[in-house]
Structures are given as structure tokens and as C-alpha cells.
Amino acid sequence: MQWTEDVSMSALAEFTNGLVKLNDVDRLFFVYDRLHDTWVKFEYGDYIICGVQGEFYPCKRDVFESTYEEC
């Protein structure tokens, strides 16, 4: 999932199982990563990747789009 203006907070919360907090002023979004017991920072436009153990990590748009093809 990519964090863009078209994505609602409820969609982000659903994707991350409610482990989110948002800072609209700085356009930052944080997801709690239970595996590593830490908050992970995402910037506007980042893709939110969920790993095989439920961990979350950011991926910049250019990296994501050069790595993956749309199905």
C-alpha cells in the first residue's frame, strides 16, 4: 500500500491492524512494528511493506516502482 492523498486514515489503520499514528503537520506517518518493538517512520508517498512476520517497513516510491511490476 502506498501512502497518498487518496488513502484514508481508516484504510491505513486497517492495513496495519490499527498500529498507526499520523503527524499531519510534518506529513509523517508512523507504524508500530511489533517484531522489532519500535515505531517506523513513513514519509508521504512511501509504500508500506508488510513482511512475512508482520513487520512493517517503508519503501521509497522510485525504488518500489523500479523493483516491482504491476499485475
For the chain, which residues make up each domain, given as ranges?
9-67
SS3 21: strand
What predicted TM-score, i.e. pTM, was given to this entire model? 0.82
Name which of 42, 41, 47 is nearest 70 in CA terms: 47
Which pLDDT score, from 0 to 100, does residue 47 have? 95
Residue type, 26: D
Q: 27 or 31, which is more confident?
A: 31
25's CB contacts (< 8 A; 6+ apart) are none
Is residue 40 predicted with pLDDT exceeding 90?
Answer: yes
Is residue 8 predicted with pLDDT exceeding 90?
Answer: no
Question: What value does the mean pLDDT of the chain take?
Answer: 89
Which pLDDT score, from 0 to 100, does residue 23 have? 76
Measured CA to CA, the distance from residue 71 to residue 33 in angstroms comes to 28
Q: Find out whether 6 and 21 touch, Cβ atoms under 8 Å.
A: no
